[in-house]
Amino acid sequence: MANIETSLKEAMTIEGAIGVALVDHTSGLTLGTMGGGATMDMNIAAAGNTDVVRAKLRTLDMLGFSDGIEDILITLDTQYHLIRPLSGESLFLYLSLNKDRANLGLARYQLRKIEADLEV
């Protein structure tokens, strides 16, 4: 089992990683961030993606779906934004990737593995 800092460091080793955050979508609290740099404030990105997760959960509820969210992908011109809710938790991992350098399938696989090893 890995702690938050170790998990975030591992996520930053994913090819094309720009930044990563662990966020509680019920409170909006960011539990940890890494990366981002001058081009991306990970705290602002995490807070904004809290709204995305909440909206999707509300929509699933209104539709009467019992499915959980495996992940949410947002594709920008130059980036992928990958949101992965943690099973049985109110937390999600948020990973921003450089679209030219990332392998999306591999990034999803690696993020799933990081989620499985994460101990909060």
Spatial neighbors of 62 by CB under 8 A, at least 6 apart, are none
Q: What is the pLDDT of residue 88?
A: 75
Which tens digits make up the pLDDT trace of 33-89? 999 988 899 999 999 999 999 999 999 999 999 988 999 999 999 999 999 999 878
Strand locations in 1-120 (E): 17-24, 30-35, 72-75, 79-85, 91-98
What class has domain 4-117? alpha beta
How many percent of the chain have pLDDT more than 70? 99
Q: In angstroms, how far is CA 81 from the centroid of its own chain?
A: 8
Mean pLDDT of the chain: 93
pTM summary value: 0.93
pLDDT at residue 5, rounded to an integer: 94
Helix axes 104-117, 4-12, angle to 10 degrees: 170
pLDDT range class, residue 94, cuts 50, 70, 90: very high
Is residue 104 classed exposed, middle or buried when 0-12, 13-18 and 19+ CB atoms within 10 A define those classes?
A: middle
